[in-house]
Structure 1
Amino acid sequence: MVFKKLLGAFGVGGPTVDTVLATPSVQPGGLIQGQVNLVGGTQEAKISGITLTLVARVEIEHSEGESDGLASFARYSVSPPLILAAGERCSVPFAVPAPYETPVTSVAGQHLHGMSLGVRTEVEISGARDKGDVDPLGVEPLPLQRQVLEAFAALGFRFHSADLESGHIRGTGQSLPFYQEIEYLAGPQYAHLFKALELTFLAAADRVEVVLELDRRSSDVINHHVLDRSSAGQDLTAVVDGWIQQALAHGGHGHGSHGHGSGGALLAGAAVGVVGGLVLEEIMDEVVEEAFEEIFED
């Protein structure tokens, strides 16, 4: 679905923008490609630049509970200054990378309820900036991520929900100011030991970090693991089962293992903790909010 909005910041008769994604779905680290189509208004416009911003709806905890806001996590300038004549049509092609830590929004074409990501187009004319065009972005998992998700499914775990949490997971290579939590209800063989499990992926070019948090009745159990490219294409069901067994055996904040979980501790104290905060935009842009609601709300 494409949103075409009048650039209200420039008044009646101003130019319009319509961003079309040639790749409405990508993988982390992949290229987001498309073009920004501009149509001149009733008079000439001097465009200082066009910026694409990747945005996501993120939950943040505070003293009064939880609320959500819009977080931008990557910005790309895709056009030099240009002059758009009255009524002129202009297309600006682009190809920008999705960060490797970009959260997954769908698996096998099925949208993960609770995930809202988009590409926002900002056009600046004579010092005025308009954020008037937002397009939804789908993100499918990397092969290693997909293999881990398939392993949980094979073990009888059932997807429950997904969201983005502000903060940082200590002891990891996390670079974005938020992280994704994918929650599964425990498989039948584990239901008597814990109720649910939260999974976080922190991907990089050569590896995928996996943080597991088991929701036990007495306390949470957290383990950290790393898969490198050598694991690609392999059935990870036994590996993931081993991770869970290891977490249950430790019964507390666990260390990590490398590759298939057979190595020693990767990081000491790989416990999950939220430190610092995420500065969210104080007021979610109405255009972005309406777009997200129309796209992602059931």
Structure 2
Amino acid sequence: MVFRKFLSALGVNAPRVETVVENPAVRPGGTLHCTVTVAGGGADVDIERLRLELVVRAEDREADGSAGWYNPYTVVAADIDGFRVAAGETVTHRVDLQVPWEMPLTHGRGARIRGGRAAVRTELAVDRAFDKGDFDEISVHALPAQDAVLQAYEDLGFRLHEAEVKIGLLRSAPRMEDRQTAPYWQEIDFFYPESWNMGRQELETVFIAREDSLDAHPGGSPAVTFRHAELDQNVWTETLDAHVRHCHGID
């Protein structure tokens, strides 16, 4: 992101801000390292608050249902207390944002997932006025365990369609409320293999990731749990196939 002027109503006095995300490609459980530089304008300015937010596109908050994201959902945020920037002065802050284990994905197996978007947003508050600034878009890549499950679906003939973030806690899926800790979830939608004769229906899968393991809930069914330390692609593909068929009553 290049320097941009915040709060244009301040005219020549407006500070300019540049946010640089040093590692714009991360995985769940990682840390985003950001540097925020505030350059003073034509007069001394008191910054009431500087906030960095990790935001995602959430289906529930986009009225038109398009690929746009005009009202993103904040996953985590970090605040810097107020400070003064003198005219012409430059102030730099380093800010770390911890990426949750249940962070929605934008990429799987190295490719973008349709509908998955995430960014770092900078907000500056001056004289009780707020400017949320621009997005610095980032990519959230799947954990190795998540990539292995995505690969298993592909090997079984499923085709990845898109992903959607929903706000709230899942209560309909058995056992899920015991595992989900974040107040949101991401559904990853797959088209069924033609051999299953399911037409254009989609299978929604929810990942609930943790440091040591991953729950995959296909179609709101009970989870099949995979432990990161036991990753074996062939075994996991067979396990997922048996689990999904059992949930659907398919031999």
TM-score between both structures, scaled by the size of structure 1: 0.72
Partner of 2:52: 52
Check whether the contact 1:118–1:134 (CA below 8 A) recurs between aligned residues: yes
Q: Is 1:146 paired with 2:152?
A: no
Check whether the contact 2:22–2:34 (CA below 8 A) recurs between aligned residues: yes
Q: Distance in 2 between matches of 1:194 and 1:231?
A: 34
Q: Distance in 1 between matches of 2:56 and 2:124?
A: 19
Q: Distance in 1 between matches of 2:190 and 2:250?
A: 20
Cα drift, residue 85 of structure 1: 1.6
User: The residue matched to 1:226 in structure 2 has which SS?
Assistant: strand
Check whether the contact 2:167–2:183 (CA below 8 A) recurs between aligned residues: yes
Identity %: 28
One-letter amino acid of the counterpart of residue 232, structure 1: L
Residues 101 and 188 of structure 1: is their aligned pair in 2 closer, same or farther, counting only changes over 3 Å? same
Residues 175 and 33 of structure 1: is their aligned pair in 2 closer, same or farther, counting only changes over 3 Å? same
User: The residue matched to 1:81 in structure 2 has which SS?
Assistant: strand
TM-score between both structures, scaled by the size of structure 2: 0.85
List aligned pairs for 1:30-179, cutoff 5 A.
30-60=30-60, 69-77=71-79, 79-170=80-171, 171-172=175-176, 173-179=179-185
Cα drift, residue 66 of structure 1: 6.9
Q: Distance in 2 between matches of 1:163 and 1:114?
A: 6
5+ long unaligned stretches in structure 1: 214-220, 252-298
Cα drift, residue 127 of structure 1: 3.3
Partner of 2:221: 222
Cα drift, residue 164 of structure 1: 1.2
Q: Is 1:191 paired with 2:197?
A: yes
Check whether the contact 2:212–2:229 (CA below 8 A) recurs between aligned residues: no
Q: Distance in 2 between matches of 1:247 and 1:66?
A: 30
Q: Distance in 1 between matches of 2:113 and 2:139?
A: 10
Q: Distance in 1 between matches of 2:213 and 2:161?
A: 26
User: The residue matched to 1:247 in structure 2 has which SS?
Assistant: helix
- Counterpart of 2:213 (choices 207, 211, 224) is 207
Equivalent residue pairs, number: 241
List aligned pairs for 1:270-285, cutoff 5 A.
none
Partner of 1:180: 186
User: The residue matched to 2:133 in structure 1 has which SS?
Assistant: strand
One-letter amino acid of the counterpart of residue 58, structure 2: V
Cα drift, residue 71 of structure 1: 1.5
Residues 137 and 65 of structure 1: is their aligned pair in 2 closer, same or farther, counting only changes over 3 Å? closer
Q: Distance in 2 between matches of 1:66 and 1:106?
A: 20
Q: Which sits farther off after the overlay, 225-234 or 82-91?
A: 225-234
Structure with bigger helix share is 2
Check whether the contact 1:26–1:140 (CA below 8 A) recurs between aligned residues: yes
User: 1:125-163 CA deviation, whole Å, 9 max, x = no partner?
Assistant: 343332113211210011111110011111121111111
Cα drift, residue 15 of structure 1: 0.4
Q: Distance in 1 between matches of 2:188 and 2:154?
A: 13
Q: Which sits farther off after the overlay, 142-151 or 229-238?
A: 229-238
Check whether the contact 1:181–1:198 (CA below 8 A) recurs between aligned residues: yes
Q: Distance in 2 between matches of 1:160 and 1:51?
A: 34
Cα drift, residue 121 of structure 1: 0.9
Check whether the contact 2:109–2:150 (CA below 8 A) recurs between aligned residues: no
Q: Distance in 2 between matches of 1:166 and 1:80?
A: 29
Check whether the contact 1:211–1:224 (CA below 8 A) recurs between aligned residues: yes
Cα drift, residue 234 of structure 1: 4.4
User: The residue matched to 2:145 in structure 1 has which SS?
Assistant: helix
Check whether the contact 1:144–1:231 (CA below 8 A) recurs between aligned residues: no
5+ long unaligned stretches in structure 2: none
User: The residue matched to 1:238 in structure 2 has which SS?
Assistant: helix
Check whether the contact 2:78–2:95 (CA below 8 A) recurs between aligned residues: no
